[in-house]
Amino acid sequence: MRLLLRVLAPLLGLVVAVVGLALVVETVTAWVAPSSSPLVVPWPTWRAAIEGLTWQSGVVRTVAIVVGVVGLLVVILGLAARRHDVYLADPVPEVTVTTSPRSLARAVGHEVRSHDDVVSASVVASAKKITVKASTLDPAADVRDAVRARVDEMLVRLPLAMRPKVSVSVTTTKGVK
């Protein structure tokens, strides 16, 4: 989502800059040579087409609705792309400490992978939930309990403001032991 905003923001900025430049060029052209035809934008033709429109016209209402919907989508996109920080316990009231979900997932993943029976693991974390998917060569039920205990022990050591829900799934992979 943030990637989309990083692409969309410069594009919208470029569009606004081009429209502003065209407005400046047309304004200067109209001041310098009022009788000449428009330089870039055919504004006299557009003006003639717009003069017959009123606020009750279907075209005006449709454009207003489209602009409103696009604006609402941009606002929703911006709100959905905000940072989802994981809050840690504040050392003093004047200081707020946060970490990223990626850092929390990396720390949990390192802890899970350090277990002798875990072959591979992937971790997805947020402030509310940590999902661990691990692979082992041993029976999955035995390793699942050990991995869960290890993750719970690590979360106790971390100064998290709110403890996330932990979901652990372990699968047995085939391989040479």
d(CA 86, CA 102): 10
As to burial, measured by CB atoms within 10 angstroms (0-12 exposed, 13-18 middle, 19+ buried), residue 104 is buried
Topology classification of domain 97-172? GMP Synthetase; Chain A, domain 3 (3.30.300)
pLDDT tens digits, 30-66: 888 888 778 888 888 888 888 988 989 999 999 999 9
- Mean pLDDT over 88-111 rounds to 89
Report CA torsion sign: 100, 105, 106, 111: positive
Question: Domain extents for the chain?
Answer: 2-80, 97-172
pTM comes to 0.59
Residue 67 confidence (pLDDT) above 70 = yes
